[in-house]
């Protein structure tokens, strides 16, 4: 059996998304910046996609800007906000995705901003009292807190964070890459300055994403060289990807409740089966459904002899999963998230992440394989 439990890294393209993309590839090859009929046809596709996304998020199409993915969108929001608004103080957490953490750290190295990291407990919960203290003593701060952690799955209370940022006149950016397409984002009610999305996290294509910029914020481009995206991002648009992104998000919203219930049930089932099969396991992060991303489960196993080989052995058995963030897989550097929450480093940790295509039979196979591996190495 082949099992893919690494959906937080990327998801398979939905067949309906493929159909939309192939149709555009077959019938619309013009450059959307061209004023002739071929160009206008393609421009219409781009603007229709923008409107689809805007309607789902309850914002204006003028607030949606297409990018190459979540990392570019995060960089654009962070770098341009700090530079264009003259911000000298920023707040984030030590368990943010590196697209955020490394960008802010680099800006601090350059002397452009002073960076404060929020305290985090051993379950990955952020100290929002500290956030308020920092905001109250540092007016006009840039805050970047992700909606859900990509490694341990913790959901952050971005509604509360948004209210604090409003109260203290701070700029609030949230990396919503892991929750976009999995939770509703009503930006008509959530007061936020920037959010990001990447199509391949919700069964769309790789290499395309978007940045929402609240209309009250006027920033300059991160990438110059053309008038595309209303002069906000130079470069010919990835039209096929943009069409696929819009279709994938549309499908995700259409089936969100049923997919959420199905995937949460799979995750809960795996938690129960793992506890029965390997009693001495630990779960990294919060696993309560109301506080945890239903697509992610991070587990530490009591087989320290397998610390360097567990993922390899799972792969040999036909099981694809991750030891942490896929964006840093293949390196010898340990997970900064698990390090920040002080997980037992002697135990191997594995991130399992699920989607609508997974089954209970796959969970049973994975649990059985893990039990065998851990029993062998006691």
The residues carrying an active-site annotation are 327
C-beta of residue 157 within 8 angstroms of C-beta of residue 104? no
The single-letter DSSP state of residue 187 is T
Rounded Cα distance, 195 and 5, in Å: 26
Task: Look at the block and give the residue holding tokens 């039209």.
Answer: 239
C-beta of residue 236 within 8 angstroms of C-beta of residue 226? yes
C-beta of residue 153 within 8 angstroms of C-beta of residue 296? yes
The single-letter DSSP state of residue 116 is E
Sign of CA dihedral 24, 26, 28, 29: positive
The pairs formed by 234-240 with CB atoms below 8 angstroms and a separation of 24 or more are 236/31, 236/32, 236/33, 237/32, 237/46, 237/66, 238/66, 238/68, 238/207, 238/208, 239/24, 239/28, 239/32, 239/42, 239/45, 239/46, 240/21, 240/24, 240/25, 240/205
Rounded Cα distance, 113 and 17, in Å: 41
Rounded Cα distance, 182 and 268, in Å: 17
Alpha-carbon dihedral angle through residues 149, 155, 159, 164, given to the nearest 10 degrees: -60
Please give the sequence-ordered ranges of beta strands (E in DSSP) within the chain, or none if there are none: 3-4, 64-67, 89-92, 114-117, 142-144, 171-175, 194-198, 209-213, 282-284, 296-300, 319-320, 349-353
Rounded Cα distance, 201 and 198, in Å: 6
Q: Of 204, 185, 183, 192, whose CA–CA distance to 248 is shortest?
A: 204
Rounded Cα distance, 198 and 181, in Å: 9
């Amino acid at each position: 059996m082949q099992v893919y439990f690494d959906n937080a890294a990327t998801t398979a393209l939905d067949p309906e998304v493929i159909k939309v993309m192939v149709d555009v590839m077959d019938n619309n090859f013009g450059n959307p910046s061209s004023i002739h009929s071929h160009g206008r046809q393609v421009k219409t596709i781009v603007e229709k996609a923008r409107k689809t996304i805007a309607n789902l998020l309850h914002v204006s199409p003028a607030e949606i800007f297409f990018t190459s993915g979540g990392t570019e969108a995060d960089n654009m929001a962070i770098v341009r906000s700090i530079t264009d608004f003259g911000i000298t103080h920023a707040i984030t957490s030590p368990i943010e995705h590196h697209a955020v953490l490394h960008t802010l750290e680099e800006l601090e190295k350059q002397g452009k901003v002073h960076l404060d990291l929020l305290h985090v407990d051993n379950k990955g919960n952020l100290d929002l009292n500290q956030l308020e203290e920092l905001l109250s003593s540092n007016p006009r701060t840039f805050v970047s807190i992700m909606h859900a952690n990509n490694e341990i799955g913790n959901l952050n209370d971005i509604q509360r964070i948004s209210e604090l940022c409003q109260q203290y006149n701070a700029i609030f950016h949230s990396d919503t890459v892991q929750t976009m397409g999995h939770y509703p984002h009503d930006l008509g009610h959530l007061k936020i300055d920037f959010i990001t999305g990447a199509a391949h996290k919700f069964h769309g294509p790789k290499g395309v994403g978007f940045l929402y910029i609240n209309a009250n914020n006027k920033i300059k481009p991160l990438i110059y060289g053309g008038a595309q995206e209303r002069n906000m991002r130079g470069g010919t648009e990835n039209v096929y990807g943009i069409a696929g992104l819009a279709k994938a998000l549309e499908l995700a919203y259409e089936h969100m409740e049923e997919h959420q219930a199905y995937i949460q049930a799979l995750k809960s089932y795996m938690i129960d089966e793992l506890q029965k099969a390997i009693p001495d396991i630990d779960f990294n992060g919060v696993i309560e459904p109301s506080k945890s991303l239903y697509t992610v489960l991070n587990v530490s196993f009591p087989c320290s002899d397998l610390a360097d080989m567990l993922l390899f052995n799972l792969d040999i058995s036909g099981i694809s999963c991750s030891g942490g963030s896929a964006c840093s897989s293949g390196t010898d550097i340990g997970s900064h998230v698990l390090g920040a929450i002080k997980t037992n480093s002697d135990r191997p940790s594995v991130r399992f992440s699920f989607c609508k295509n997974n089954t209970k039979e796959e969970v049973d196979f994975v649990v059985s394989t893990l039990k065998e591996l851990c029993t062998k190495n006691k």
